[in-house]
Structure 1
Amino acid sequence: MIRLESVSKNFNGKPAVDNISFQANEKEMLVLLGTSGCGKTTTLKMINRLVESDSGEIFINEKNIRHQNIQELRMGIGFVMQNSGLFPHYSVRRNIAVVPELLKWNKKKIADRTLELLHKLHLPEDILERFPNELSGGQQQRVGIARALIANSPILLMDEPFGALDNITKADIHSEQFNFTKQTSVWNALQKLSSDRQNTESYDLLMKAFSDYRKLQIV
């Protein structure tokens, strides 16, 4: 469970997130909706402490995240970033394996899970030895999704994970999403959506493949 209580964040004296409160329950998908600049990305980043809140409290499973070790906190959260967030000096293989290696998975388990996700995300196996700057935007985004899903983290944060994908690829991944949900044991997934109607409708189709979900309007 994720709970935010009166959380705020300012940048250069201007509010990015203003006194937001909400709760995402165990295995619930909560979808954040709002126009650009309303604080959706900042909210996601505060949950795993990529950005520290100025006021208010954030709890995960009733534990205040301010009192948790940052590395341990992040190892329990899969985060699909809007710009993929890949390490430029790591190969695709190493990017995907970052968290499993920290969790001391053996090499075979990492390799098997990596190949499973490549197939589900329609990525070729020879991509593993490439570097992020050798990939298209859509490929980078899919590698970022694989990295977030690989460790079966109980919490999944998603910041426009399908924004760089063409409609055909979105449809292909859409057909696999139900299996992703079952296999990754998603407890909470927060999804930042575009305010554009066409994109929002596309996301609605993708989200239906996960499970029922609840929308929260951010203003």
Structure 2
Amino acid sequence: VPVLTRTDHRVFAHVKIYSNFAEIIQPLGILPLEFSAEDWSDIRSDSITLVGANVNITQQTITEKKNSLNNLQVYVRSPSSSNTETKFFQATMIDENRNLVKLIDKDISKEAIYLTVQPDHIVYNNEPSQSKYYVNFTYDTTDAVYLSYLRSNLNWKTRYQLNLFEETKQAIIIAMADIRNDGKSKIDIEYGELIGGEINLRMFEQDG
């Protein structure tokens, strides 16, 4: 079932929407390609590749970058807090993976102490940055190059509407396709196909 939509966005994608994944093919942008953590969670990273009539990929890299919270000044709930009184102390983040902080709590010790605290007991001065993912390619080609990958947040299903009339008229059944984007970022579709059934991931990996 062909679907044709277009917006004012500069990058338009050709999309094949299956019941489990959507195959996205769009013009290759400036390298390296940047994806937010939200977008990355909807993408099968092993499906990202380049397609074209004459494309030879010699190298592909995927890198995750995130500003470290280590050595950042934060506020943490004091271990000496009670149900009736909550105290917060300034602390230094030592290991963000373990939520290990260093602080001075005079009710416990005059020297600096190290604590592993619960995530909801940490108050940040600024919003912690999320990871960003970068995809880069080294390739050779003499033709146009397109980016291809699978997304899990696009899906569709068939909806039927039955119109009943008087006995002199035949009933009419109308089939409609509901397309849903469960992701937070929009996808601008230049041309789309709705395909019944699930995509064969094994065949896709072999083709890629």
Radius of gyration: which is bigger?
2
TM-score by length of 2: 0.25
* Greater fraction strand: 2
Higher relative contact order (CA 8 A, sep 6+): 2
